[in-house]
Amino acid sequence: MKNAINWFEIPVTDYERAKKFYSAILGEEIIDHHMDNMKYGIFPYDMESHKVGGAIMQMEGTNPSRQGSTVYLNGGDDLNVALGKVEAAGGEVIMPKTDIQENGFIAQFLDTEGNRVALHSMG
């Protein structure tokens, strides 16, 4: 096994609002891939090399939460770029950029749906 995680899903209550939020902070398009009874948007990822990927999803029975597992999104070369867009896009920074020594930097935020999500970068 190369990675313990190969896919993640972030539950949302307002798909279009969440799509706009994540597109704004990551500077990348969330690709619609809706299915029966589910609105589904895929984050950019390298499908050919089978890197970790994920999506936002609006579906009955799934609920956003600030408790539980934390998903760390790629913060790019400097996570301040994405983190600096969180509040303007409707989210709330709950942990500023934090140095974790040789492992880079992390930060956490609440998205527009109430999920606690994090960013990681080496810069």
For 10-37, the pLDDT digits (tens) are 999 999 999 999 999 999 999 999 999 9
Residue 2 forms part of a structural domain: no
Q: Tell me the pTM.
A: 0.91
Q: State the residue range of the domain holding 35.
A: 7-121
pLDDT reading at 1 higher than 70: no
CATH of the domain at 21: 3.10.180.10
Total domains, the chain: 1
Is 47 part of a structural domain of the chain? yes
Enter the tokens of residue 32.
């619609």
pLDDT for the residue numbered 105: 97
Instruction: Let me know if residue 1 belongs to a domain.
Output: no
Residue 11 included in any domain? yes
